[in-house]
Amino acid sequence: MQMDDYSRLSAVSEMICDHISLDGIDPFMQATGIFRADWQAIEPREFEGEVFAVDGSNAPLCNWSTASVNLIRAGYAVYRGREWQRTVITFEDLFMADEKLIESMFNPFLEEFFGLSGAAFKESDLERLSSYYREMQEYIAIDDALDHAKAGDLILYDGSFEVFEPLRGAVASIFTKAENRGVDLLAVAKSSSLSWGEGISLPFVPHAGLAGSLLLPGSAWYISLKDKMVDAGQGRWNGEAFVVRFCGQSHHAFRVDAPAYLAPDIRPALQKAAAYSCSAECMGYPHALFRAHRDIRIAEPERAAARRRLIASLAERGMSSLQINMLMLDFHDILEMRPSF
């Protein structure tokens, strides 16, 4: 079906404008129950401790529908003030996503690091399994960072603590350890599905950011979503969600999750993060997380090289080119006339 005089394009663009455009902040505040007093200014405050920024990366190498192979990496970058200290890779290995291998792939890690026995995974989707595995390795990276952190240090996690049931036990274990060690722990999500409004889902974080720019121009700020009319997900992870602008010179705001032990007095932790979030390289985003992303991500050349090494290893073990092609070649590559290897 072709668009008639771009009528469908016009309708879609109008719908997008309706989603993004915020025609005054009063309707937004009335619909969400968030009022002017809920925007709290943050005064950035440098501190003597260290900032640990945890991230992970997941790169698919091949997929044959019933299973897939992914290269997974996790770790953290460490800063003292504005100075990078080191980047630690806590995990880098291949993961075979197969519903029948869940127990052998997940349980040893869950038992060793979090004292959990049995991963009750109900989701058999291969992409979801790989995401679960990467997230588990990121939690292990947080656990390792906690082993090296001192009281008053700050750990930032690239993501959200709003996780599905199989890994909630690991998150709970991390929260307990962070509280016992006196370490501030925050999750900062670069993207968020938080929504508001009736009839159609409106993007909450961008709209909260626009409202905050009008109410507290030139200031870092935060708002708590507790008891607000915002679709904040399942909410069964023992913490609270916030929206935060870390730098007054930026228009970017982020969802930030804080464990229950930290949420009632979150301001000092946000002040620490805000003090190091105005770098020209990543204005408005904690620079330690920016560095962690750059150091830990699996770039396309790395993914391609790992794929070539896997193919070479299969050939060395006697697998024929035909068999390798059957496993490694995505039919989309044939349709697009792209070389497989």
Range of the domain at 218: 40-296
Using CB atoms within 10 Å of the CB of residue 60, give its burial: 0 to 12 exposed, 13 to 18 middle, 19+ buried: middle
Q: Do the domain assignments include residue 218?
A: yes
pLDDT given at position 1? 44
Q: Average per-residue pLDDT in the chain?
A: 90
Q: Do the domain assignments include residue 24?
A: no
Using CB atoms within 10 Å of the CB of residue 48, give its burial: 0 to 12 exposed, 13 to 18 middle, 19+ buried: exposed
Q: Do the domain assignments include residue 183?
A: yes
pLDDT given at position 249? 95
- In this structure, the strands spanning 220-224 and 184-189 are unpaired
Which 8-state DSSP code applies to residue 231? B
pLDDT given at position 334? 62
If asked whether residues 250 and 331 sit together in one domain, one would say no
Answer whether residue 253 shows pLDDT above 90. Answer: yes
H or E stretch covering 166: none
Per-residue pLDDT band for 44 (boundaries 50, 70, 90) equals very high
The tokens describing 332, both together, are 């989309």
Instruction: Calculate mean pLDDT across residues 252-267.
Output: 96
- Which residues, 6 or more positions from 25, have their beta carbon under 8 angstroms from its beta carbon? 210, 211, 214, 215
Instruction: Calculate mean pLDDT across residues 260-287.
Output: 97
**Per residue in 155-207, pLDDT tens?**
999 999 998 778 899 999 999 999 999 999 999 999 888 888 877 788 899 99
If asked whether residues 145 and 289 sit together in one domain, one would say yes
Least confident of 15-19, 90-94, 120-124, 148-152: 120-124
Count of structural domains, the chain? 2
CA–CA separation, 136 and 170 (whole Å): 8
- Exposure class string for 244-266: b at 16+ Cβ within 10 A, else e: bbbbbebebbbbbbbbebbbeeb
Least confident of 226-240, 286-300, 305-319: 226-240
Per-residue pLDDT band for 80 (boundaries 50, 70, 90) equals very high
If asked whether residues 223 and 104 sit together in one domain, one would say yes
If asked whether residues 291 and 314 sit together in one domain, one would say no
Answer whether residue 235 shows pLDDT above 70. Answer: no
- Is the pTM higher than 0.85? The answer reads yes
CA–CA separation, 121 and 23 (whole Å): 44
Strands (E), the chain: 40-42, 50-63, 68-80, 83-97, 154-158, 184-189, 195-196, 202-203, 220-224, 239-245, 254-259
Which 8-state DSSP code applies to residue 201? P
Answer whether residue 3 shows pLDDT above 60. Answer: no
Q: Are 192 and 255 in contact (CB under 8 A)?
A: yes
Q: Do the domain assignments include residue 31?
A: no
If asked whether residues 311 and 166 sit together in one domain, one would say no
The tokens describing 283, both together, are 């204005």
**Which has more confidence, 151 or 194?**
151
Q: Do the domain assignments include residue 15?
A: no
CA–CA separation, 83 and 80 (whole Å): 5
Q: Do the domain assignments include residue 272?
A: yes
Answer whether residue 115 shows pLDDT above 70. Answer: yes
pLDDT given at position 132? 92
Q: Do the domain assignments include residue 1?
A: no
If asked whether residues 50 and 191 sit together in one domain, one would say yes
If asked whether residues 204 and 290 sit together in one domain, one would say yes
If asked whether residues 310 and 201 sit together in one domain, one would say no
Q: Do the domain assignments include residue 149?
A: yes
pLDDT given at position 339? 57
Q: Are 225 and 241 in contact (CB under 8 A)?
A: yes
pLDDT given at position 103? 87
Q: Are 21 and 15 in contact (CB under 8 A)?
A: no
Q: What's the full length of the chain, in residues? A: 341
CA–CA separation, 306 and 60 (whole Å): 10
pLDDT given at position 22? 74
If asked whether residues 260 and 279 sit together in one domain, one would say yes
Helix (H, G, I), strand (E, B) or coil at 307: helix
DSSP for 76-96 reads: EEEEETTEEEEEEEEEEEEEE
If asked whether residues 194 and 262 sit together in one domain, one would say yes
- Say which CATH number the domain at 199 has: 3.30.420
Per-residue pLDDT band for 41 (boundaries 50, 70, 90) equals very high
If asked whether residues 170 and 67 sit together in one domain, one would say yes
Q: Are 52 and 156 in contact (CB under 8 A)?
A: yes
If asked whether residues 180 and 319 sit together in one domain, one would say no
The tokens describing 134, both together, are 């990467």
pLDDT given at position 267? 98
